[in-house]
Structure 1
């Protein structure tokens, strides 16, 4: 088969489709990235051009191919306990957050990728709440990609993925396992039980599902950088609506709400509180 080339006209179609259905705004310079990420899928399906793949995508009424496309386009870079200053902030404010919520804590990891973030949340709470069972705590973890959600739900991580964790944390919260003669770490069932994993599209998803669930904390880190300003504004509005009064929103260190703050107060770089 000849080398597949994504033509500008075809790329424009993908740009519009991805923006409408996934919410990611792709600049014109991303054409070669999209070509590289989609070429293998086009060949897998036995198609001869990106135009044929676009037609296949649009004709898919069940949405399975859109899910696959989301996995290919999304950049899933994460690690355990990233953004150190945010965890220090949480450590110093956890008692007041719990007091304000009456011991009922609802946390949303809104782009959980392969699960390092929600498991970090669960480990953090286990470390700093020795009497954790006395509280009503639930962690929701969502992502647009079913591929990475599958990894997250398995709770199985390579040695490389666990490099940022101390030996103490590995002993307390993981079990070493061998998979095809390679060393992996399996997260404990105690932590897995605290997290509900669901597929959810932050742009097109139904936020009415959260109408009766006020979140005390929302993590949405390094996601908005892929969205244009109108989509960012809409997402921040939605987060504000489903956060409890004085709830916290954590975003990536490379992100800022700036003129989107609206009813949020800046508590620190990348940390905001609902007024």
Structure 2
């Protein structure tokens, strides 16, 4: 089959659509990445050009194709216990956080992808909070992609996905199961019950759904690098509003709140605290 080529005019249309509806800012140099990620989908739909695909997106008032597009454009790279220094920081400050909250803990894993981050949080808390079952812990895990959320809600991971886990964690918090003749691992129901998975777009989502909700900790790692500066600033302002006093925001190691430090105190690289 002849290779589909994304023309500059078509890319400009898709670029604007993706920014408006998903919030991801794609530079002009991303044209080949968009072509590579969308070509298969265009062919699946029986369309002959990216221009026809754009028309299909605009005509899809139910948002089914937008959801599919979100999954194709967003990068879902994750693993258990990423960025070790952040977990060390959290371990050191967990007693003071719990003292401040009276044993009640609300955490938001924004852009949770396939679930490794919220499950890492649940395991971490189970390991480092004495009498953890007596605490009131809830973890909200959201992502723009329903595709990755379905994987997260199942809580079943391949051996490769579990390579970053300590052997003790694997034995304690997972059960081995066979999936298509391959040994995989399923997260324990005890941890699953602490996590609520929801589809949510950080840029275009209705934040009114979070009314009356305050979080002690927000994880939003390696997401803002895809947004332009105004979108980043708007998102950080929302996080600031939604955090409790002295609550923590964890971002990716390649990110920084360069223009927002007046709202947050920098505690360590990629870790900020609300004043």
Q: TM-score, normalised by structure 1?
A: 0.99
Secondary structure of the structure 1 residue equivalent to 2:273: strand
State the partner residue of 1:165: 165
Show the counterpart of 1:50: 50
> For 1:210 and 1:198, how far apart are their aligned partners in 2?
12
Written as runs of structure 1 = structure 2, the 5 A alignment for 1:56-205 is 56-205=56-205
Alignment of 1:10-21 (within 5 A): 10-21=10-21
Give distance in 1, aligned partners of 2:104 and 2:127.
Answer: 18
Secondary structure of 1:25's partner? coil
Aligned residues: 275
Question: Helix, strand or coil: the match of 1:99?
Answer: helix
Q: How far does residue 3 in structure 1 lie from its aligned partner after superposition?
A: 1.4
Cα root mean square deviation, aligned: 0.7
> Could you say what secondary structure the match of 1:56 adopts?
helix
Q: Tell me, in whole angstroms, the C-alpha distance in 1 between the residues paired with 2:130 and 2:273.
A: 26
For residues 120 and 267 of structure 2, the distance between their equivalents in structure 1, rounded to whole angstroms, comes to 21
Q: Does 1:224 align with 2:200?
A: no
Gaps (5+ residues) in structure 2? Answer: none
- 1:164 is paired with a residue whose SS is coil
Which residue does the alignment assign to 1:209?
A: 209
Query: Per-residue displacement from partner, 1:79-120 (whole Å, max 9, x unpaired)?
Result: 000010110011011111111112211000001000000000
Per the alignment, residue 236 of structure 1 pairs with 236
Consecutive unaligned residues of structure 1, counting only runs of 5 or more, are none
Whole-angstrom CA distance in 1 between matches of 2:126 and 2:104: 15
